[in-house]
């Protein structure tokens, strides 16, 4: 067998490592350290509700195509379940289950009165027309109309979805219920009850966590450099905001390529380029073309993986030179890489803390919908920044108290809240 075949086999093998198993591995590490009672742990290991639907959609060519849709409610112990909807070709129940569990911990870490859920449709939105996407989104909303609800389960954008899809969801759901219910979904356009500051919120949270972590570990942000992987909603806004705080963004990337510029990118120029270029960075001349692997292993102060899951793994973790990793994406680090990063002394601000700015402003959006009164952007941002700084401090404190990583410290922060809520609520 050639080495190449062996390598291919190995990577296929790796792909089959279940994401939910990786969630459980971290959960178990934290549960053991915190001494989480077994009955509470048992309630958090299995999702509360798992719904899978088939969605027949009339395609533009006149043929019906059937898509698979998921919504997994992991926990409602702290309140109605909350979490985004993902449109991507590799969406499957294991992935949605893992993402749903992360939402539970993320909401608990951020101190929100929400449980966790996630949804998704296995599809390739890049190859679909706007009409096809609208019909698929409405079919999904209709199929999930008993799952969703402003006080039940509240979706939001995730990979492959945005305010356009959220507008279709609120419209379809309100038609079914025969009343306008904007609180059923967050991440809506502002004219339909969306919140100011929601679009940039996840990136804004990444910026706050990067700055807070830099203060703790003694990096002078005015002299700091960062590499940002991903140029979607999270990466783009994180890069923009970090650079507005004086941090030099020396690398950016999207699925079409990665770029390096030692002097630092002017993010607005890159954004304008992408906007004119079908929303991709391909062909961008503001920096040298590098590989994705090179971006991850650059000699920078901070690395911000804000693209997709499983980017930092056992193969590349030992090559990472950044002192700080702030996980803008969900699950960008494989479980197996955790101990390598710890041993190298790299500070990792974990996803369930680092990207919780998005769901935090989703909560503010929902509150504004319940009130029917809307806040200024400065007000939203101030509330957001305070919530994120508080969450960061709590996770930092718990990681010190339990002498563990920020990742396990974040799980412990979540356990403290979840344990109390579950005990107060009781059981049959
Ligand atoms: N999809 C985002 C996340 O993973 C936002 C979820 C929300 O706002 O409910 O955190």
Residue where a domain stops, chosen among 338, 354, 370: 354
- Whether 127 and 69 share a structural domain: yes
Which pLDDT score is estimated for 4?
A: 40
> Is 396 within the bounds of a domain?
no
> Is 290 within the bounds of a domain?
yes
Q: Which residue has the tokens 């000699």?
A: 299
- Whether 155 and 232 share a structural domain: no
Residue 336 or 15, more confident:
336
Which pLDDT score is estimated for 107?
A: 98
- Whether 260 and 314 share a structural domain: yes
- Whether 113 and 212 share a structural domain: no
Which pLDDT score is estimated for 5?
A: 38
Which pLDDT band holds residue 214 (cuts at 50, 70, 90)? very high
We report the CATH number of the domain holding residue 344 as 3.40.50.720
> Is 64 within the bounds of a domain?
yes
Which pLDDT score is estimated for 2?
A: 39
Q: Is the pLDDT of residue 190 over 90?
A: yes
Cβ of 110 closer than 6 Å to ligand 1, yes or no, is: no
- Whether 74 and 145 share a structural domain: yes
- Whether 219 and 146 share a structural domain: no
> Is 414 within the bounds of a domain?
no
Residue 274 and residue 254 in contact, taking contact as beta carbons nearer than 8 Å: yes
- Whether 50 and 149 share a structural domain: yes
Q: Rounded distance, CA 156 to CA 302, Å? A: 28
Boundaries of domain holding 292: 201-354
Q: Which residues of 236-260 are buried (b: 16+ CB within 10 A; e: fewer)?
A: bbbbbbbbeeebbbbbbbbeebbbb
Ligand 1 centroid distance, CA of 159 (Å): 10
Which pLDDT score is estimated for 7?
A: 41
Taking the mean position of all CA atoms in its chain, how far away is CA 369?
23
Which pLDDT score is estimated for 9?
A: 41
Q: Is 118 a catalytic residue?
A: yes
Residue 156 and residue 186 in contact, taking contact as beta carbons nearer than 8 Å: yes
We report the CATH number of the domain holding residue 152 as 3.40.50.10860
Cβ of 136 closer than 6 Å to ligand 1, yes or no, is: no
Taking the mean position of all CA atoms in its chain, how far away is CA 402?
26
Ligand 1 centroid distance, CA of 424 (Å): 27
Residue 3 or 35, more confident:
35
> Is 5 within the bounds of a domain?
no
- Whether 211 and 330 share a structural domain: yes
Q: Is the pLDDT of residue 1 over 90?
A: no
Percentage with pLDDT > 70 across the chain: 96
Which pLDDT score is estimated for 16?
A: 53
Q: What is the pLDDT of residues 62-108, one digit of tens each?
A: 999 999 999 999 999 999 999 999 999 999 999 999 999 999 999 99
Q: What angle do CA 266, 267, 268 make, to 5 degrees?
A: 95
How many residues comprise the chain?
Answer: 428
Cβ of 125 closer than 6 Å to ligand 1, yes or no, is: no
Q: What is the pLDDT of residues 352-362, one digit of tens each?
A: 999 999 999 99
Instruction: Tell me the torsion sign for CA atoms 275, 326, 317, 300.
Output: positive
> Is 192 within the bounds of a domain?
no
Average pLDDT over residues 222-240: 97
Residue where a domain stops, chosen among 354, 376, 410: 354
- Whether 226 and 317 share a structural domain: yes
| Short-list 40, 95, 110, 102, CA closest to 74 | 102
Residue where a domain stops, chosen among 325, 354, 383: 354
Q: How many domains does the chain have?
A: 2
- Whether 172 and 85 share a structural domain: yes
Taking the mean position of all CA atoms in its chain, how far away is CA 381?
19
Average pLDDT over residues 38-49: 97
| Mean confidence (pLDDT) of the chain | 95
Pocket test for ligand 1, best of 73, 75, 84 (most atoms within 8 A of CB): 84
Q: Is the pLDDT of residue 12 over 90?
A: no
Which pLDDT score is estimated for 8?
A: 40
Q: Is the pLDDT of residue 278 over 70?
A: yes
- Whether 179 and 216 share a structural domain: no
Average pLDDT over residues 328-333: 97
Which pLDDT band holds residue 6 (cuts at 50, 70, 90)? very low
Cβ of 83 closer than 6 Å to ligand 1, yes or no, is: yes
Residue 6 or 385, more confident:
385
- Whether 167 and 293 share a structural domain: no
Average pLDDT over residues 257-284: 96
Q: Which of 97, 106, 118, 240 is catalytic?
A: 118
Q: Is the pLDDT of residue 189 over 90?
A: yes
Could you tell me the pTM of the whole model?
0.95
> Is 406 within the bounds of a domain?
no
Q: What is the pLDDT of residues 362-405, one digit of tens each?
A: 999 999 999 999 999 999 999 999 999 999 999 999 999 999 99
> Is 347 within the bounds of a domain?
yes
* Closest atom of ligand 1 relative to the 84 alpha carbon: 1
């Amino acid at each position: 067998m050639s080495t190449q075949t062996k390598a291919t086999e190995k990577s296929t093998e790796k792909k089959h490592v279940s994401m939910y198993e990786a969630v459980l591995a971290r959960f178990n590490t934290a549960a053991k350290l915190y001494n989480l009672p077994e009955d509470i742990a048992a309630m958090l290991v299995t999702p509360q509700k798992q719904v899978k639907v088939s969605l027949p959609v009339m395609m533009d060519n006149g043929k019906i195509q059937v898509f698979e849709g998921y919504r997994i409610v992991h926990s409602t112990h702290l309140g109605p379940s909350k979490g985004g909807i993902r449109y991507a070709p590799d969406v499957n129940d294991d992935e949605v289950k893992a993402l749903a569990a992360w939402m539970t911990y993320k909401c608990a870490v951020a101190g929100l009165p929400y449980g966790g859920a996630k949804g998704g449709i296995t599809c390739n939105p890049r190859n679909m027309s706007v009409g096809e996407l609208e019909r698929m989104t409405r079919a999904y909303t209709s199929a999930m109309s008993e799952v969703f609800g402003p006080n039940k389960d509240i979706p939001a954008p995730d990979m492959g979805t945005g305010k356009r899809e959220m507008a279709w969801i609120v419209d379809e759901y309100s038609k079914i219920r025969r009343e306008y219910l904007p609180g059923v979904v967050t991440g809506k356009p502002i004219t339909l009850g969306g919140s100011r500051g929601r679009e940039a919120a996840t990136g804004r949270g990444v910026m706050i966590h990067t700055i807070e972590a830099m203060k703790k570990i003694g990096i002078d942000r005015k002299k700091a450099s960062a590499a940002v992987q991903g140029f979607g909603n999270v990466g783009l806004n994180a890069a923009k905001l970090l650079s507005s705080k004086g941090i030099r963004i020396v690398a950016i990337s999207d699925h079409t390529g990665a770029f390096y510029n030692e002097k630092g990118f002017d993010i607005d120029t890159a954004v304008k380029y992408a906007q004119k270029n079908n929303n991709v960075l391909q062909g961008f001349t503001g920096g040298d073309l590098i590989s994705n692997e090179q971006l991850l292993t650059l000699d920078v102060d901070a690395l911000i993986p804000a693209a997709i899951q499983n980017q930092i793994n056992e193969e590349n973790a030992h090559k990472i030179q950044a002192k700080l990793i702030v996980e803008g994406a969900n699950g960008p680090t494989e479980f197996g890489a955790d101990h390598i990063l710890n041993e190298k002394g790299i500070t990792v601000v974990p996803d369930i803390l680092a990207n919780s700015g998005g769901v935090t402003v989703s909560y503010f959006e929902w509150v504004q919908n319940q009130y029917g009164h809307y806040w200024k952007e400065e007000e939203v941002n101030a509330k957001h920044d305070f919530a994120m700084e508080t969450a960061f401090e709590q996770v930092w404190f718990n990681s010190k108290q339990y002498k563990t990583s920020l990742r396990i410290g974040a799980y412990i922060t979540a356990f403290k809240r979840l344990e109390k809520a579950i005990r107060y609520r009781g059981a049959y």
